């Protein structure tokens, strides 16, 4: 097993062992690509959502929130294009009976070519040292140039065929490139077929015709579009303004692997920003930068995040970029920023027969606004944060079992538990009583934990493993002078402070205001 795969496996078992994420319906052998969040997972997820919500709604006078229903009129999905175009091209392997996304097989082939080029570049960089000119090398090295030519030709054909819905050519490309089933090596493929990703259900019990068919929303965005005028009128917002929403979305993903990266039920944090027609690229660039800053504020190293423009634009977009994160299985989409034009509002206007126009008093003009969307998956954000935070490190001056520790270095504002209160000994009434007193006071301000079981070192390790930024220990000196030891998670530094100082210390490091500033 590669080191990366091994680390990923450890991450998944850490999430289960410490109550962050459980497989759904586990006692019935689980339900593929559906997960439940345990006590600490639920806290972390709530904190991620609070950080997103506050940075949108609290920090922008011109962004307001919404909580629309999951069930919506089925025509909404006709107008949005999801009934006709929210498809993935699937292909089955006749020997292994495994199902794949045809586009992902070709993208995987392209990624391998990119890796080959990157390897040649790295070899040359080592050979030439400081004088190495990467751009020149990529142009002049015959092997790299050949890979690049091949890459560009495949990408060009792939983009065209995907855009035109030419599934026969996607199949031809898979055959010509001799792409094999990644698990078995077989090249015995079926034709490529379109597969709609929406789940449907029946509305109203007994009826079962097409009219009573409802879809579980595959994105939260449409709830915002159909409420655009309700929100604008009731809040008296002027363009440009935004509507933010957090909620569940459902997609019948063909290939759902990699833990909570690709789920069938997940949560999105989406904001639609309504702008004047013609100003969408200015706002698209604004939100690209703003969203990158939001990720960086959490302490995510810049080299773990990058922009990737879309090769294939969705049916509603005239520009689109992903913020990719370096997950344990490589750089993949974490967030999408899309310039959606007036596609959605115009389609809803047409199909519903209701005007969805805005009167711009400065221009003295009615128009359908253009929209720039930011859309980040809450679960993917969770995976990005926890995979980067989970670390194993050696503890200076410690021996045996204590020489290493597993620590979750989450940003303190997002940590599930902010402070643990620990009496030095369990069976000393004066210590446990005092510790309870401290805990009962601090719990008004933050989520705290009282823990008296096991030796103090083990209790510190338990808190490290769930990412608690501070541990407060009550000892015999506390009874004399009302001071406690406060230990900081990352540095493991311990400091003696007065009990009445603890709340301020913990608050300063864990409040969200620090992130916004």
Could you list the residues that contact ligand GAP (CB under 6 A)?
A: 219, 221, 251, 253, 262-263, 266, 268, 270, 333-336, 373, 375-377, 379-380
Cβ atoms within 10 Å of 419's Cβ, excluding its own: 29
For the sheet containing 87-92, what is the strand order?
A: 99-101, 87-92, 193-196
- The number of angstroms, rounded, from the C-alpha of 171 to the middle of its chain's C-alpha atoms is 31
Nearest-10 Cα torsion for 12, 16, 20, 24: 100
d(CA 257, CA 377): 16
Nearer to ligand GAP, 215 or 266 (CB): 266
Locus of tokens 């026969």 = 168
Provide the minimum distance between the beta carbon of 220 and ligand GAP in the complex, in angstroms, as a whole number: 7
Provide the minimum distance between the beta carbon of 333 and ligand GAP in the complex, in angstroms, as a whole number: 5
Nearer to ligand GAP, 333 or 402 (CB): 333
Provide the minimum distance between the beta carbon of 219 and ligand GAP in the complex, in angstroms, as a whole number: 4
Nearer to ligand GAP, 77 or 460 (CB): 77
d(CA 218, CA 52): 20
Provide the minimum distance between the beta carbon of 265 and ligand GAP in the complex, in angstroms, as a whole number: 8
Provide the minimum distance between the beta carbon of 282 and ligand GAP in the complex, in angstroms, as a whole number: 21
Nearer to ligand GAP, 147 or 343 (CB): 343
Nearer to ligand GAP, 239 or 317 (CB): 317
Nearer to ligand GAP, 379 or 475 (CB): 379
Provide the minimum distance between the beta carbon of 266 and ligand GAP in the complex, in angstroms, as a whole number: 4
Provide the minimum distance between the beta carbon of 92 and ligand GAP in the complex, in angstroms, as a whole number: 20
Nearer to ligand GAP, 373 or 464 (CB): 373
d(CA 262, CA 380): 8
Asked whether 357 and 390 are in contact (CB, 8 A), the reply is no
Nearer to ligand GAP, 174 or 334 (CB): 334
Cβ atoms within 10 Å of 297's Cβ, excluding its own: 16
d(CA 429, CA 209): 69
Length of the chain measured in residues:
517
Provide the minimum distance between the beta carbon of 222 and ligand GAP in the complex, in angstroms, as a whole number: 8
Locus of tokens 């030419």 = 166
Nearer to ligand GAP, 371 or 414 (CB): 371
Closest CA to 94 of 36, 181, 182: 181
Nearest-CB residue to ligand GAP? Answer: 377
| CA distance readout (Å), 74 to 84, 214, 400 | 13, 6, 62
- The number of angstroms, rounded, from the C-alpha of 206 to the middle of its chain's C-alpha atoms is 39
Nearer to ligand GAP, 239 or 323 (CB): 323
| CA distance readout (Å), 348 to 150, 273, 360, 363 | 42, 17, 20, 24
Token couple for 135: 């751009």
Nearer to ligand GAP, 379 or 451 (CB): 379
Structure letter (DSSP) for residue 101: E
Provide the minimum distance between the beta carbon of 169 and ligand GAP in the complex, in angstroms, as a whole number: 24
d(CA 58, CA 107): 40
Cβ atoms within 10 Å of 350's Cβ, excluding its own: 11
Nearer to ligand GAP, 387 or 449 (CB): 387
DSSP string, 334-375: EEEEEEEETHHHHHHHHHH-----EEETTTTEEEPPEEEEEE
d(CA 154, CA 140): 21
Provide the minimum distance between the beta carbon of 118 and ligand GAP in the complex, in angstroms, as a whole number: 25
Provide the minimum distance between the beta carbon of 253 and ligand GAP in the complex, in angstroms, as a whole number: 5
H or E element that contains 155: helix 142-164
Provide the minimum distance between the beta carbon of 261 and ligand GAP in the complex, in angstroms, as a whole number: 6
H or E element that contains 377: strand 370-377
H or E element that contains 402: none
- What is the widest separation between alpha-carbon atoms in the chain? 81
């Amino acid at each position: 097993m590669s080191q990366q795969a091994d680390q990923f496996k450890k991450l998944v078992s850490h999430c289960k062992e410490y109550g962050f994420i459980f497989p759904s319906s586990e006692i019935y052998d689980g339900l593929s690509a559906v997960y439940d969040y345990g006590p600490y997972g639920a806290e972390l997820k709530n904190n991620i959502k609070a950080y997103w919500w506050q940075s949108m709604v609290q920090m922008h006078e011109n962004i307001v929130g919404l909580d629309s229903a999951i069930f919506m009129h089925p025509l909404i999905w006709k107008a949005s294009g999801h009934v006709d175009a929210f498809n993935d091209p699937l292909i089955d392997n006749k020997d292994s009976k495994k199902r794949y996304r045809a586009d992902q097989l070709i993208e995987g082939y392209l990624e391998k070519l990119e890796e080959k080029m990157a390897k040649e570049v790295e070899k040359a960089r080592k050979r030439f040292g400081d004088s190495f000119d990467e751009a020149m090398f990529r142009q002049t090295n015959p092997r790299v140039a050949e890979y690049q030519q091949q890459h560009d030709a495949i990408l060009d054909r792939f983009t065209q065929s995907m855009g035109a819905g030419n599934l026969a050519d996607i199949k031809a490309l898979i055959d010509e490139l001799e792409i094999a089933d990644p698990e078995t090596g077989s090249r015995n493929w079926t034709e490529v077929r379109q597969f709609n990703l929406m789940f449907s259900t029946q509305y109203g019990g007994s009826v079962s015709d097409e009219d009573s068919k409802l879809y579980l929303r595959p994105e939260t965005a449409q709830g915002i579009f159909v409420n655009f005028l309700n929100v604008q009128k009731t809040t008296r917002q002027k363009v440009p303004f935004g509507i933010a929403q957090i909620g569940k979305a459902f997609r019948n993903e063909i290939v759902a692997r990699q833990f909570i990266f690709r789920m069938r039920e997940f949560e999105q944090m989406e904001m639609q920003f309504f702008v004047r027609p013609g100003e969408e690229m200015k706002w698209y660039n604004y939100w690209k930068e703003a969203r990158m800053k939001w990720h960086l504020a959490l302490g995510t190293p810049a080299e773990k995040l990058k922009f990737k423009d879309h090769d294939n634009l969705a049916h509603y977009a005239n520009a689109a970029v992903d913020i990719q994160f370096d997950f344990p299985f490589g750089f993949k989409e974490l967030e999408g920023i899309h310039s959606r034009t007036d596609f959605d509002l115009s389609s809803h206007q047409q199909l519903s027969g209701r005007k969805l126009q805005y009167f711009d008093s400065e221009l003295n003009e009615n128009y359908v606004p253009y929209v720039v969307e930011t859309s980040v998956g809450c679960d993917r954000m969770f995976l990005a944060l926890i995979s980067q935070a989970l670390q194993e490190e050696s503890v200076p001056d410690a021996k045996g079992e204590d020489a290493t520790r597993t620590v979750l270095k989450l940003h303190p504002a997002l940590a599930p538990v902010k402070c643990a209160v620990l009496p030095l000994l369990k069976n000393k009434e004066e210590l446990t009583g005092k510790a309870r007193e401290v805990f009962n006071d601090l719990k008004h301000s933050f989520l705290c934990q009282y823990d008296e079981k096991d030796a103090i070192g083990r209790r510190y390790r338990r808190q490290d493993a769930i990412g608690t930024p501070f541990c407060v220990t009550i000892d015999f000196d506390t009874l004399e002078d009302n001071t406690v030891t406060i230990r900081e998670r990352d540095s493991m530094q311990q400091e003696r402070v007065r009990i009445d100082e603890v709340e301020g210390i913990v608050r300063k490091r864990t409040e969200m205001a620090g992130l916004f500033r």
